Amino acid sequence: YKQTDRQIRRVKMYNGIDVSKHQGKIDWQKVKDSGIDFAIIRAGFGKNNIDEYAHYNALRCNELHIPIGFYWFSYALNEEMAIKEAEYLHMFVKEHLTEMPVYYDFEYDSASYMSRNGVKATPALINKMTQAFCNRLEELGCYAGFYANKDYYNNIYNAKTKKLYDLWLADYSATNLKSPKLIQTTSKGTVAGIKGYVDMDIANINFPELLHRKHLNHL
């Protein structure tokens, strides 16, 4: 429920997961039967390094009518490299039915990689790369957003980035979806069909309906 001073309005919540090769070979039929509504799949990382289970995960979800989106873990050092990462990700959007947004994922490890390569990961540069990535995907007809934990959202990302693109927020302490449309609620979820832990997510809008209506992601 989302509560205001005058009313309580029921908000439909959709339960999802985000996965990568770290979950191994997933039994997606069991995942669907467990009540999972959508999945965000790691397409790859860095300079066109494809996640070894990305195409399998996408194909099985498409076959079982589980709506999917993708994310790309960034190891870009500048805006030009971020744009190339967006283009690598776009190949997955073209090859699979993609009914959820596609996301730029810049994390602490991304910043450490930049530092090891002699580039300072300043907030200004991170925002420029995030915008370059998302802009390129929008040019290609996609629904783009960015992933951030609370630290990066509060201390790195500026008002322009937050205004332009949807946020996928990692917030394990709360499930307040007033601002983000998608929130990662834990990294230690358990779901039938997946061995070990998996990230759990909640969406507060029907992304597939929205993307089909707007003809985004080549739908």
The string of pLDDT tens digits covering residues 140-156 is 999 999 999 999 999 99
Average confidence (pLDDT) over 127-135? 98
Average confidence (pLDDT) over 75-98? 98
- 8 Å CB contact between 88 and 43: yes
Tell me how far apart the alpha carbons of residues 48 and 44 are, in angstroms, rounded to a whole number: 7
Residue 188 has phi, psi (to 5 degrees) of -125, 40
Tell me how far apart the alpha carbons of residues 71 and 92 are, in angstroms, rounded to a whole number: 10
Q: Which residues pair with 39 in a beta bridge?
A: 17, 68
- Percentage of the chain lying above the pLDDT 90 cut: 89
Dihedral in degrees, nearest 10, Cα atoms 103, 206, 162, 42: -10
Token pair recorded at residue 187: 């990294």
pLDDT digits (tens, 9 = 90+) for 169-207: 999 886 555 567 899 999 999 999 999 999 999 998 999
**Model pTM score:** 0.92
pLDDT of residue 203: 94
Tell me how far apart the alpha carbons of residues 99 and 47 are, in angstroms, rounded to a whole number: 25
Q: What's the mean per-residue pLDDT of the chain? A: 93
From residue 77, alpha-carbon distances to 20, 24, 57, 72, 80 in Å are: 23, 29, 29, 14, 8
Q: Count of alpha carbons within 13 Å of 154, Cβ hemisphere only?
A: 5
